[in-house]
């Protein structure tokens, strides 16, 4: 069966009765039917999530383009393994261009279970389970199919973009400070904040979307991470997940908005030529492993290929990065977009893949935790800049209807 016909059959056979709707965003339950190992904090070991009434969700919105519809999906999970991205694309076929974005909550099942390369046991990391890859891909495809049936009108788009005190640096230097919100009429449909979803600690053992889930519940929007590679959530003393989310939600409600002239979206998937994976010297020393074992672990974590997802809405360019870029890495990507004529660019993390932490050469040399999970050496930024430049050239050549 061709991809498009398979997608249509999937939407009809699996049914849409479990889906709930806001004005513009589809929400679909993504809670596994049995306990699975939690991801994000390796000190939990193999601990599975404890029973509770909490739910996890996929949220999706469809945008009109000059070609097939573009469906953006935020997933309350840790990362987007490339195997999951490809499995969803296979199910949807040519019916939509799908962009998956993880909220990076550390209180969801370990997404390494969905990574076909993760067959080597590593303490605190779940190994690949094909059953759950199939389950997650099926559930996400339901949300994609439903969103495609109700595309967002792009006639009256506005956006807010401001520096807000929602993040603090966890490395030397300045993090990304700006948050972004997109609106259709009065309804927010995408909110991006450059802070890790780590308000809840490793001792939390039930499912939770952390603060992105609470903001999504408050606003009815997709909530996705900005450039979070060096940014923790700037919670106040004793502030709960819900109180922190209320601060973000209040900003979304009251932020000054600017018009965004876009009758249609444009999207380009730009390949990035990744260097060969190599463990950072501190990865070897901090984990007490041999260089040979460290290299073997890298082959499980580090994908051999990556792609940037470029979405143009009027004069706004969203740069979806498959990993966790630092604020400086994001600034360099925005500068590359500026040189290509895109002067209003915003960087999103955890988009259509996970290639680890993405650092500039100087940050890589500084070392630290983020550097130990930087897989491709000190010069990976240049490859992302090259991919971005090629993608921007393709965007400029595309017509908009």
Bridging pattern class, strands 345-348 and 324-325: unpaired
CA distance 220 to 382: 37
Q: What is the pLDDT of residue 339?
A: 97
Q: What is the pLDDT of residue 296?
A: 87
Q: What is the pLDDT of residue 156?
A: 86
pTM recorded for the entire structure: 0.93
Identify the bridge partners of residue 269 per DSSP, sorted by sequence position. 309
| DSSP-derived secondary structure letter, 312 | E
Q: What is the pLDDT of residue 4?
A: 46
Structure tokens at 184: 């259709």
pLDDT averages per 10-residue partition of the chain, 401 residues: 42 38 82 96 93 97 91 98 98 96 98 94 91 98 95 90 96 91 95 98 97 98 98 97 98 96 90 95 85 87 95 96 98 97 97 98 96 96 98 87 45
Structure tokens at 392: 């921007």
Q: What is the pLDDT of residue 349?
A: 98
Report DSSP letters for 64-108, one per residue: -BSSS-EEEEEESSS---HHHHHHHHHHHGGG-EEEEEE---SSS
Q: What is the pLDDT of residue 22?
A: 53
């Amino acid at each position: 069966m061709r991809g498009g016909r398979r997608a249509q059959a999937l939407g009809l056979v699996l049914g849409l009765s479990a889906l709930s709707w806001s004005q513009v965003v589809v929400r679909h339950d993504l809670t596994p039917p049995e306990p699975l190992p939690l991801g994000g904090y390796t000190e939990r070991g193999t601990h599975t999530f404890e029973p509770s009434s909490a739910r996890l969700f996929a949220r999706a919105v469809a945008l009109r383009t000059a070609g097939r519809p573009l469906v953006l999906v935020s997933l309350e999970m840790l990362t987007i393994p490339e195997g999951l991205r490809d499995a969803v694309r296979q199910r949807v076929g040519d019916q939509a261009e799908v962009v998956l974005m993880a909220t990076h909550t550390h209180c969801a099942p370990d997404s390494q279970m969905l990574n076909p390369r993760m067959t080597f046991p590593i303490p605190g990391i779940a190994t690949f389970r094909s059953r759950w890859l199939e389950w997650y891909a099926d559930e996400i495809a339901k949300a994609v199919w439903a969103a495609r049936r109700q595309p967002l009108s792009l006639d009256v788009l506005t956006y807010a973009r401001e520096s807000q005190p929602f993040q603090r640096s966890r490395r030397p230097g300045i993090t990304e400070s700006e948050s972004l919100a997109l609106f259709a009429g009065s309804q927010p449909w995408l909110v991006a904040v450059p802070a890790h979803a780590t308000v809840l600690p490793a001792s939390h053992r039930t499912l939770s979307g952390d603060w992105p889930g609470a903001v999504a519940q408050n606003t009815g929007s997709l909530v996705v991470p900005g450039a979070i590679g060096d940014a923790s959530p700037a919670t106040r003393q004793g502030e709960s997940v819900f109180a922190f989310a209320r601060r973000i939600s209040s900003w979304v409600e009251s932020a000054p908005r600017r018009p965004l002239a876009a009758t249609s979206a444009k999207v380009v998937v730009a390949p990035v030529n990744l260097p060969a994976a190599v463990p950072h010297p501190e990865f070897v020393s901090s984990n007490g492993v041999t260089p040979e074992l460290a290299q073997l672990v890298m082959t499980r974590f580090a994908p051999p290929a990556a792609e940037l997802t470029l979405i143009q809405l009027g004069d706004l360019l969203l740069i979806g990065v498959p990993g966790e870029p630092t604020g400086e890495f994001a600034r360099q990507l925005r500068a590359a977009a500026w040189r290509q004529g895109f002067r209003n660019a915003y960087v999103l993390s955890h988009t259509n893949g996970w290639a680890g932490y993405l650092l500039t050469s100087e940050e890589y040399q500084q070392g630290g935790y983020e550097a130990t999970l930087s897989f491709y050496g000190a010069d990976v930024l240049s490859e992302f800049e090259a991919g971005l430049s090629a993608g921007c050239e393709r965007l400029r050549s595309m017509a908009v209807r």
